[in-house]
Amino acid sequence: MIFKRLTDTSGVNTEVINQAGQLAIMLAIVFMVYGLYLSGALFSIHILLSRGILKSRARLTLFVITIIQLLASTAYVLLMLMGDAYPLATAKKIDSDWSVHVEVFVVRFAVANDCLARMNFLLSDGIVVWRAWVLFPSNLFVRIVLVLCMLASSVFIFLDSGLDAKRDLDYSETLSGKVHGPAALTLFMSLPLLVTNVTATSLIAYKAW
């Protein structure tokens, strides 16, 4: 976070200018990626609406998931912007009171952003699993595997969200730079998602072949 780097400096004005430049570059990249995603999402919504979402339960479900993901991604970008820009906008005088105030603000936005990102990951895996599901209507074994993969991803996502929120809200760990925890805890979330995605994608590829 921008806040952590600011609290470690003595030359406030110079550091604020440097961090503002880095923030501008980072946000330019984030908004460029978001713009590409937004174009794809709006195009998908247009196609679904033109084909009639009320005529197909699958299209209606996909439409709802697309809208939810779009809203979550938009909120994620806005929270990232506010969480990184607020410390710079209020850094007139860096002292202990300012640090505590901004720390609470930034950590709360970080917790919300982490939850939104995890929800998007889970929904993305859900779409892939659903596509594999409909390709195997009478294969009980495949469907059981998909259900188990999705359950494992959901459980680990919620557990990781709770553990990550606890680490973020721990004031001492936040100040010591341990917000994200060890790499092993990152695998706690990413590995089940990866296994689920690879399994579902492999089943789709097998059916296509």
* Domain-wise residue ranges, the chain: 1-93, 95-209
Whole-structure pTM value: 0.69
pLDDT in tens, 58-107: 888 888 888 998 998 888 888 877 776 666 655 555 555 556 566 777 77
The DSSP output letter for 52 is -
Kindly state the tokens that stand for 115.
Answer: 């939850």
Cβ within 8 Å of residue 106, ≥6 positions away: 1, 3, 83, 86, 87
pLDDT in tens, 121-164: 888 888 899 989 989 888 899 999 999 999 998 888 888 888 77
Rounded CA separation 150/181 (Å): 25
CB 181 within 8 A of CB 163: yes
Q: Give me the phi and psi of 95, to 5 degrees please.
A: -145, -175
Map residue 174 onto helix, strand or coil: helix
